[in-house]
Structure 1
């Protein structure tokens, strides 16, 4: 075993692969509760989505935590941006263009709309492919990384805890809004209320680095706390969806407890992070470990490409099974495997890093 292999934290590779799968299964569930115009299809299949998807919601914040863990310190800003943006931005733009052309080839849009979509990529997507929102958010974190890096590296424990406590308060705001529509200076002319600067995905980055600095060593309580946080967060997330399924008509209302910036999703994400951060692999040179690392390394390419494969898998499997209880995990697994194979083949092409990251 090499020194690099001995020092590698395989727990984060495992977590990255799991998160990658979770994204695909979450999107597989969308076929069974989202109707036309964002309306809800309230069927038995939708209830299965309510049981399956809540745990999968943590995939995005997990990606943010894992990425944020390795962002700092930022010492050479031009080199930092060159490395991060070349790996993330170029494949993203190419896939945006591909999806725009795919929509045209399928006859969904005309040529003028296709060219407009491509021109709009600097603003928002190259076509309405919803999962690509994540990349804009991630690029925003990268842009802010050089600014926050000195604080992340030197902040005291109490200073980081002060930030995280206020961030946790902002995670309850979606629920406070159910009772009080505007709080702490929120009005239609003010988009930056009192705790605005403590909110958002940056909290997951700070949380990851707080754990890295003060709780990275394995402790017995990590697993107990992790299980409790996952169970409690899952219960809130699941109950919120299923309970509201009979009363809400549109997705944006129904998916309240699925919000990435809610306290329950943050609980599940933190629990998973604590449980996986110190996992060991006994045989790093085994074929399984090499496959695991290969999937983890290609997780960004899988993320970019999976919608295309998932739609094809749905067309092939949907009519073969009666219940979403079977279809959702089966579609997720098949799409995950097939997308990895496609991305693996693409990675064999010259200059493939510009395609798969």
Structure 2
């Protein structure tokens, strides 16, 4: 009996490349609104960051949705963990070591601190390079996947919609808290209120599988709803950032509408997913098609490595342009291209999968 391999979904490759670039643009913008000790820089550049990077907040949710799309079913737990964890955790650990030495060579840490950071890798990060938080969250989703798999593969459409409605309400809590600071059992001594189990990134996984199971074929409403969700979500996201910019003193409160666990970011993520999930490549073997697939395949390596390259381009280009409207996308594009080239070169090394994913 022969098994027919399912046709490749090129739309998800496009989404993966877009998400990878958006991560880099988000980090390119941080220089222009985050001051010392996470104080807010209320400048014209910060306004540009609000306009440019509000849409880019969908980067992490898109990565999670793409992972969720391919995560199930989990039939053999040992094989699942061996494959997923080795591909994600080992490159992560190697790059934690590289970042520890990077900080040493850049003068941000002495050799003793660098070595201590390496020893701390099993605890948290090893060295505090912020974007690496994503890996812990992703590994947590992998740990839950075998438990979730039986339900997510067999749940009815209505049951999945029931979960997603409660997830959407949970993602509205950051705004409800502006009026009611504590609701549904919340208190300083209770960290698991009523909708706690419906919150978090797991909802993006369920949303992706819901779309895969019940709305995988392209329909006209996909594009209408996708555009509506994208525009409405972007409007809320950018308005919230710019409205709060003149008054908020610290980044943590400024970024209220930028949170990955907010209803508006979820709306944008769902909209982008619906718009692009069924994109076709007329000629996948063309130079463009091969490049797209290669960038998609190496996106994890680009994600892990890009901060080193980003810091270089920021130092190189920042003084040459007056406005963040130019600097943010320019630094992001240069970083994206250069990091991909570096990861491409590294991929030719023996056992390179342990380095680039």
**Quick check: TM above 0.5?**
yes
TM-score range, shorter chain: over 0.9
Give 1:206-221 correspondences, 5 Å limit.
206-221=206-221
Please give the alpha-carbon distance, in whole angstroms, between the structure 2 residues aligned to 1:144 and 1:6: 26
Q: 1:299 and 2:293 equivalent?
A: no
Aligned-pair CA distance for 1:58: 0.1
1:268-311 deviations in whole A, cap 9, x for unaligned?
A: 00000000111111111101000000000000000000010000
Runs of 5+ in structure 2 lacking a partner? none
Please give the alpha-carbon distance, in whole angstroms, between the structure 2 residues aligned to 1:148 and 1:6: 23
Please give the alpha-carbon distance, in whole angstroms, between the structure 2 residues aligned to 1:196 and 1:153: 23
Aligned-pair CA distance for 1:128: 1.2
User: TM-score of the superposition, structure 1-length normalised?
Assistant: 0.98
Q: 1:234 and 2:237 equivalent?
A: no
- 1:70 maps to 70
Runs of 5+ in structure 1 lacking a partner? none
Give 1:27-42 correspondences, 5 Å limit.
27-42=27-42
Pick closer, same or farther for the CA change 1:4–1:313 going to 2, 3 Å.
Answer: farther
Please give the alpha-carbon distance, in whole angstroms, between the structure 2 residues aligned to 1:312 and 1:5: 43
Give 1:61-140 correspondences, 5 Å limit.
61-140=61-140
- 1:26 maps to 26
| SS of residue paired to 2:71 | coil
1:191-227 deviations in whole A, cap 9, x for unaligned?
A: 1111101110000000000001111111001011100
Please give the alpha-carbon distance, in whole angstroms, between the structure 1 residues aligned to 2:56 and 2:177: 25
| SS of residue paired to 1:264 | helix
- 1:268 maps to 268
- 1:15 maps to 15
| SS of residue paired to 1:58 | helix
User: TM-score of the superposition, structure 2-length normalised?
Assistant: 0.98
Please give the alpha-carbon distance, in whole angstroms, between the structure 2 residues aligned to 1:158 and 1:116: 51
Aligned-pair CA distance for 1:123: 2.3
Pick closer, same or farther for the CA change 1:340–1:4 going to 2, 3 Å.
Answer: farther
Please give the alpha-carbon distance, in whole angstroms, between the structure 2 residues aligned to 1:173 and 1:317: 40
- 1:351 maps to 351
1:204-262 deviations in whole A, cap 9, x for unaligned?
A: 00000000111111100101110010000000000000000000010000000000000
CA RMSD of aligned residues (A): 1.2
Aligned-pair CA distance for 1:103: 1.1
- 2:157 maps to 157
